Structure 1
Amino acid sequence: MLLFKNVFFFQAGIGILANVFLLIFYTSTIHQIHRTRPTDIITCHLAFVHLMMLLVTLDILSADMFKWLAFSNELKCKLFFYLSRVMRGLSISTTCLLSIIQVITISPSSFYLSRFKQKLTNYIVIAVFCMWCLNLSSNSNMIIYTVAHSNRTNLFNISKYCSFSSMNSVIRKIFFMLELSQSVFFVGIMLFSSMYMVIFLCRHQRKSEYLHSMSILPRICPAKRATCTVLVLVSFFVIMYCLDIIISSLSTILWKYEPMVLDIQRLVGNIYATVSPLVHISSDKRMLGLLK
């Protein structure tokens, strides 16, 4: 237990620092440059979501939980676990949007989605707003069923201080299926977009070899680098998210509290929030130049 908690605090510390740096960099870049890249806006939003996710989970695991909030324990539990689920939902939907934006960016003019290139920034703002509305509404059950610890026996412990109140098995299965279908939808889109990006990279590789044989340097290296970055992020996210879904599904279906399983789930669930900013920092020449 103590080992998992120490590992998590170390992981969260790295993730928070990396996401803060990423958020500050992209916020200043968007503010200074009149015409920013669409992926910069998505990356900035993703850094904010992951920062909030790590901070909320850190507060949930801290020994002095929520003492700085002058609310009742039950309201604190509802607030923080609701925010935790909303941020996790925003993480998958924002990553999905990032993959779609990259597909649109690299697609040729003959591609159907290329017609959105001209007003891509406006569509991004609308998409982010819809994602917030979707996740705020779809996770509203957390407000109803999250409670503070009490003497009742029909509770499912989710932390040292908070629990889920028992719900009808039919309602529980409905919520589980809604969450699962939402996850499958976003992961499916990411897989399709990843397939397109792999095809793009293969074609680019053949074109690069042809241009190299003619002593002509290719001009689309930045696009290739950005596509590789998004492809790495999407692939890593899908692996970690599927693993997280398997662990959380077992806990939800069995309705049994296992502290070690819960710690592993939190650790796995936050790996992407920690690794994602590090991948962005290592692949962006602007940030590497700034760090040097």
Structure 2
Amino acid sequence: MSSSDLASGLVFLSQILVGVLGNFCLLYHYLFLYITGYRLRFTDLIIKYLILGNILFILTNGVPRTLAAFGLKDFLNDFGCKLLSYLRRVGRGMSIGSTCLLSIFQAITISPRNSRWAKIKVKAPKYVVFSISLCCLLFMLVNAIFPMFVTANRRNDTTKRRKALGYCSAIVHDKIRDSLYTALLSFPDALCLGLMLFTSCSTVSILYTHNQQVQHIHRTKLSPRTSPETRATRTIVLLVSTFVFFYTISAILQIFIALFHNPTLWLLKMGTLFSMCFPAVSPFILMGCNSSVSGLILSCRRNKKSPNSVRYM
């Protein structure tokens, strides 16, 4: 085992431990609030969906890549490679889709009454389950073809060209088919990314406008404490910026891996590293968000059985 393999294996293992711990802590928080009688917001279902997607992706992507870095490369058979690759793609889709849904429902929730979102603001909670189901179904269907192009390294098949992906291999076709296939897999990610950027920018604009309108009120206060609107804006910008940064780099690396006939081991490792960054750090962003912003999806507010009793993260 080379020093680079050992270093990459330790990095992947650290990402797994941090990501799983953070997501389970956030999941435990919601379970604790539910058991103790606090009424959760309708958007908490989306966050739970995000947690499950993060855990699924971290385990199906990080564990086999860590084992491969430590020298155990041919430990999966053909069925194991297909199943693990499919679950990894679905988990990644769940993470991206849930982040997109959070951004959309956030923009709807805090929108003013005279905005374009006002008509569906009251009905928004009724569409949460449907939106999650549709998002999950979309990524399951789009990635259903993915296992057909994945095989085990130890498979004795010399009739088809294959490229090594570490612990598994991928069947190589002509450039046109591979390009179309890459575009098909990238379309849902690009759509979610575009929607999230649009709704998040709208949210920041709404909060900034509101902050400007009440700025004279905050100036009359003796306390130099930052306004709730400003803290909410910072949380949104941090979450969106983190998502855009890591997933943009990850998407670019995945496109190169898909198009290159023999991607280098360094490219595969970097693709794994950046793809697991957001699922690992997103629960800490949600747990560390400012809890004093009333009415914001990411404010982590928890209402008890009494409508006047509020629980904060």
- TM-score normalised to the size of structure 1? 0.86
> What secondary structure is seen at the aligned counterpart in 2 of 1:147?
strand
Question: Is 2:206 the counterpart of 1:200?
Answer: yes
- 1:53 paired residue number: 57
| Consecutive unaligned residues in structure 1, runs of 5 or more | none
Q: For 1:266 and 1:21, locate their aligned partners in 2 and report how far apart those are by CA, in whole Å.
A: 23
Closer/same/farther in 2, CA of residues 234 and 38 from structure 1, 3 Å limit: farther
Task: Map 1:67-106 to 2 at 5 A.
Answer: 73-106=77-110
State the AA in 1 paired with 2:82: K
| Consecutive unaligned residues in structure 2, runs of 5 or more | 292-299, 302-310
Question: Is 2:253 the counterpart of 1:244?
Answer: no
State the AA in 2 paired with 1:76: G
> CA shift at 1:32, angstroms?
5.2
Closer/same/farther in 2, CA of residues 284 and 22 from structure 1, 3 Å limit: farther
Closer/same/farther in 2, CA of residues 33 and 270 from structure 1, 3 Å limit: same
> What secondary structure is seen at the aligned counterpart in 1 of 2:288?
helix
> What secondary structure is seen at the aligned counterpart in 2 of 1:159?
coil
> CA shift at 1:284, angstroms?
5.2
Q: For 1:142 and 1:84, locate their aligned partners in 2 and report how far apart those are by CA, in whole Å.
A: 10
- 1:283 paired residue number: 289
Question: Is 2:15 the counterpart of 1:11?
Answer: yes
- TM-score normalised to the size of structure 2? 0.81
More helix by share: 1
1:146–1:163: 8 Å Cα contact kept in structure 2? Answer: yes
2:235–2:289: 8 Å Cα contact kept in structure 1? Answer: yes
Match of 1:266 among 268, 272, 276: 272
Question: Is 2:170 the counterpart of 1:164?
Answer: yes
1:5–1:263: 8 Å Cα contact kept in structure 2? Answer: no
2:56–2:91: 8 Å Cα contact kept in structure 1? Answer: yes
Task: Map 1:159-238 to 2 at 5 A.
Answer: 159-160=166-167, 162-215=168-221, 225-238=231-244
Question: Is 2:124 the counterpart of 1:117?
Answer: no
Closer/same/farther in 2, CA of residues 88 and 11 from structure 1, 3 Å limit: same
- 1:154 paired residue number: 161
State the AA in 1 paired with 2:58: L
> What secondary structure is seen at the aligned counterpart in 1 of 2:24?
helix
Q: For 2:20 and 2:232, locate their aligned partners in 1 and report how far apart those are by CA, in whole Å.
A: 23
Q: For 2:48 and 2:15, locate their aligned partners in 1 and report how far apart those are by CA, in whole Å.
A: 20
Percent identity, aligned pairs only? 28
Cα deviation code 1:164-215 (max 9, x no counterpart)? 1223433222211122332222111111112212212322332342112345
State the AA in 2 paired with 1:212: H
> CA shift at 1:163, angstroms?
0.8
Cα deviation code 1:63-116 (max 9, x no counterpart)? 66897xxxx811111111101011112211111111111101110111222333
Q: For 1:32 and 1:78, locate their aligned partners in 2 and report how far apart those are by CA, in whole Å.
A: 41
Q: For 2:81 and 2:284, locate their aligned partners in 1 and report how far apart those are by CA, in whole Å.
A: 31
